[in-house]
Structure 1
Amino acid sequence: MDTNSSKCLALATIVWMPHILVDENAKYPKIVGGTMLEVFEIFARHLNICYRHHMVKDQTAGYKLPNGSWTGAAGEVLRGEADMSGLGLAVTNDRFADFSFSEFLYQDEFTATYIRPTSEADFSGFIKGFTPLVWIWIIITTVAFTTAMFFVLLATEKIHEHRNVRPKKSNGALLEESWLWTLAPLLAQGVERKVTGESVRVITLLWLFVTFIVTTVYRSSLLSLLVLPTMRLPFNNLEELAESDLPVWMPAGSSVDIASKLAPKDSSLGRIQKNFKDSSGPPDVPAAVRTLAKGGHVLVAPRSAVLQITHGLFSKIGKCTTYVMAEGFMKTFLQSLLFRKGSPLKAKFDPMILRLREAGILSHVFNKGVINATECLKSIKTEETSQARALNLKDFLSTFIIYVGGIALAVPAFITEVLLHRFRRQRSTKRRPDFVATSGIK
């Protein structure tokens, strides 16, 4: 085809953000913007061509049917209804076999986006004041101090036994006192018993100093954990997405849709197909974005499209309402213009694309279209440390449970002690008259 003729090129075009943007309120897709409009204006000026975008009926890039025909934009190009694609399409094996592709415009990968989680109370936050290793060392130190305290008390009793200073204490009483002096300071409780003996005072003061440091650091760390928000991401990679069983939307007939159907059923890519919300008719991208913003489904698309969605939502609302998972999949696929085999247009466009890409113009045009997405790509963990939140009842739920559990254990122990005390008094009362009577006979 002579590009200098009066006939304008027909471009098979589909909605693909940020490259082709349409009016969300129009019944039929009406192009209102996109990076490819600016790129094709550059093509038109330097190649001296005219063009018109032709919106594909089924709004898919196109896939090969069992009878050898093609659907979507690829089908219209193959049948001659369009001269080329109006935007870069993913280069797949099937498409590469039946069509010609230009120099690549962009490199891309597939990813997923979902509604951004809100900050919530961390139920297990009370154990996160220290790392597991620190907790292990605290337990080991506590047991070691209890053992040391017991042997010091035992040695002190031996000394008092020789001096006949006071009645001898049993080993059980010494062990009880050791645990009391160990656990009470850790739980910030007072001990009413007096410490006797220089060696006992030295080891007790040493333990009090250690527990003072530990409990002070723990309180500070616990307070910071309660005040700072905690966010749990539903998924952050493809494996977690497959395990989440969240409903998934992706463009029907896209390369990721086809790849997920061909993938093994037990693979991560194959498992997300069962959650795919298929719909009849052309993919309604604006409706899919609105449902995403409400948390209705996960949206799987090329990263470039996801960035445009993030950019658009941030521009409307002024804050990040979605997040993009950290790890992409089907990485580094190429987006290239699609032609019929042997089309002379390829030789015209390739040098122009190569110059624009190497000069950074294509990247510049793309980055302008998604500039507001940068703020929402920051790590959510980094965002957590930037602001505090008000405490709510859930923040103290774990503490209440521990308190109630302690009361539940203390009440039976108290009742048991009272009953044992009464039982011992009754036994001693029964024995006393016999003793008096015997004493009287003598």
Structure 2
Amino acid sequence: MMSIVPVLTPDQLGPRNSSNCLRLAVETWFPHLFWVRATSQNAPLTMTGPMIEISKILAKKLNRSCIEYVWSGDGTFFGVRHDNGSWDGLTGLLARNLTEMTGVPITIEHSRLEVVEFSQTLFVDSWNLAYKRPELQSDISGFVKPFTMLLWSLIAAIMIAVFAGLFFVEYRHKKLRTCKWYPSGDSVRLLSGLWLLMALIISTLYRSNLKAMLILPKIVLPFNNIQELVRSDIPLHVAQGSTLSRQIQNSLPGTSLHAIKNYPNQILSSDPLQVFADTLKGRNAVFVEALSILYGLHTTFAARRKCELYLGEEHFSTVVGQTLATPKGSPIKDQIDFIYRDNRSDLHLYA
């Protein structure tokens, strides 16, 4: 069972030299760290996740007696850079030297190098789209699905043409009899025979296609890439203050990410738990690291015994380095790199 630890906000911090604690900037980010549901309104903030165990190993190697987990609480997630060069969010905690390092992996990004330094890369990831997996449901219009609308239109046009031809031939030869359904004359018999042969072929194909649909039904995905998502008008959540959100804003015209930049249903979010719950309900799609999506797939399948999410086939930036960060010029950075190189077996969760 993973440990549960209390989380402080900046206004709850004491002087840096008052203890030997290792101060870590944290943010909820699956599967590394996530909030523990509060039991009461006044309950303290608590977090859990595999990074808690990693931070304990780092604190022990750094000869620290305790760990303080600090959350910015400003709603900007990993941080947004302002025009004056200042940062808020998790990056802001490092820039203002309120914490000594991050307690959760963040993406290596050029703009953050102004205020932080990155340790050795822990692992690489990619960004991907995820949405609720469609389920098979009864379809009252399923009897017309074996053929496309174009084919149904052609069949209707052929029927009209055949009946018009039969009437024209009968009228021209003046051989209409009392029994109108009995074909008379060679031309009428030829047209009737061709129509009956065509009807046999069409009905055979219809029965075959309908049987195939019943035996092996096909699930139609709402989208499989960014272009299809934009055409679907499904709301898309992107993490506030993330590297991906900045890459979308700085994307060039003609690129896939630029299509999201101009997408009116794009939503910047700072509550991963709520976004994940809404994604499972089909209210929105999500665009995040593939590892976070795989964690969601694992947890939902373990709880419900069925796969409720699907991933788009298109991957973006397949080499997204994830690492820990320290304030600019911090002496702890070299120590972290040495600990990581020397203790890969202990840090096996991300090695």
Q: 2:331 is matched by which residue type in structure 1? A: P
CA positional deviation for 1:254: 1.2
1:325 is matched with which residue? 312
Equivalent position to 2:267, from 258, 277, 284: 277
1:252 is matched with which residue? 240
1:127 aligns with 2:114: no
2:13 is matched with which residue? none
1:5-35: CA deviations, max 9, x gaps?
Answer: 9611100000001000212346688344212
Stretch moving more, 305-314 or 177-186: 177-186
1:336 aligns with 2:323: yes
Q: 2:274 is matched by which residue type in structure 1? A: A
Q: 1:57 is matched by which residue type in structure 2? A: G
Answer yes or no: is the 8 Å Cα contact 1:125–1:226 preserved in 2.
no
CA distance in 2, matches of 1:29, 1:241: 40
1:187 aligns with 2:207: no
Answer yes or no: is the 8 Å Cα contact 2:146–2:206 preserved in 1.
no
CA distance 1:174–1:96, change in 2 (3 Å): farther
CA distance in 2, matches of 1:99, 1:360: 23
Q: 1:106 is matched by which residue type in structure 2? A: F
CA distance 1:278–1:342, change in 2 (3 Å): closer
Equivalent position to 2:32, from 19, 29, 38: 19
1:113 aligns with 2:130: yes
CA distance 1:75–1:33, change in 2 (3 Å): same
Equivalent position to 2:51, from 36, 50, 60: 36
1:340-394: CA deviations, max 9, x gaps?
Answer: 2222212111133345658982358xxxxxxxxxxxxxxxxxxxxxxxxxxxxxx
CA positional deviation for 1:40: 2.0
Answer yes or no: is the 8 Å Cα contact 1:235–1:241 preserved in 2.
yes
CA distance 1:264–1:275, change in 2 (3 Å): farther
Q: Which has the higher strand share?
A: 2
Normalising by the residue count of structure 1, what TM-score does the alignment of the two structures yield? 0.58
2:250 is matched with which residue? 262
CA positional deviation for 1:222: 3.2
User: Residues 1-12 of structure 1: matches in 2 within 5 Å?
Assistant: 7-12=20-25
Answer yes or no: is the 8 Å Cα contact 1:20–1:31 preserved in 2.
no
Q: 1:276 is matched by which residue type in structure 2? A: Q
Equivalent position to 1:48, from 37, 46, 63: 63
CA positional deviation for 1:175: 4.7
CA distance in 2, matches of 1:291, 1:257: 20
CA distance 1:38–1:360, change in 2 (3 Å): closer
Q: Which runs of 5+ in 2 are unaligned?
A: 1-17, 152-183
CA distance 1:220–1:13, change in 2 (3 Å): same
Q: 1:127 is matched by which residue type in structure 2? A: F
CA distance in 2, matches of 1:123, 1:82: 64
Equivalent position to 2:273, from 283, 286, 297: 286
CA positional deviation for 1:186: 4.7
1:87 is matched with which residue? 104
Which of the pair has more CA radius of gyration? Answer: 1
Q: Secondary structure at the match of 2:324?
A: strand
1:134-174: CA deviations, max 9, x gaps?
Answer: xxxxxxxxxxxxxxxxxxxxxxxxxxxxxxxxxxxxxx954
1:74-118: CA deviations, max 9, x gaps?
Answer: 111111100111111111110134321001112111112212212
Q: 1:313 is matched by which residue type in structure 2? A: T
Q: Secondary structure at the match of 2:246?
A: helix
CA distance 1:17–1:31, change in 2 (3 Å): farther
- CA RMSD after TM alignment: 3.2
CA positional deviation for 1:330: 3.3
User: Residues 5-404 of structure 1: matches in 2 within 5 Å?
Assistant: 7-25=20-38, 30-49=45-64, 50-59=66-75, 60-120=77-137, 121=139, 125-127=145-147, 173-188=185-200, 219-264=207-252, 267-273=255-261, 274-278=264-268, 283-354=270-341, 361-363=348-350
Q: 1:328 is matched by which residue type in structure 2? A: H
Q: 1:258 is matched by which residue type in structure 2? A: R
CA distance in 2, matches of 1:318, 1:219: 35
Q: Secondary structure at the match of 1:230?
A: coil
CA distance in 2, matches of 1:260, 1:114: 19
Q: Secondary structure at the match of 2:335?
A: helix
1:184-240: CA deviations, max 9, x gaps?
Answer: 24534xxxxxxxxxxxxxxxxxxxxxx7xx976874453122333221111111222
Answer yes or no: is the 8 Å Cα contact 2:143–2:210 preserved in 1.
no
Count of residues in Structure 1 that have an aligned counterpart in Structure 2? 292
CA distance in 2, matches of 1:360, 1:215: 65
1:367 is matched with which residue? none
CA distance 1:173–1:16, change in 2 (3 Å): same
CA distance 1:6–1:227, change in 2 (3 Å): same
Q: Which has the higher helix share?
A: 1
Q: 2:305 is matched by which residue type in structure 1? A: G
CA distance 1:113–1:82, change in 2 (3 Å): same
Q: Secondary structure at the match of 2:120?
A: strand
CA distance 1:124–1:102, change in 2 (3 Å): farther
CA distance 1:237–1:360, change in 2 (3 Å): farther
CA distance 1:18–1:291, change in 2 (3 Å): same
Q: 1:361 is matched by which residue type in structure 2? A: H
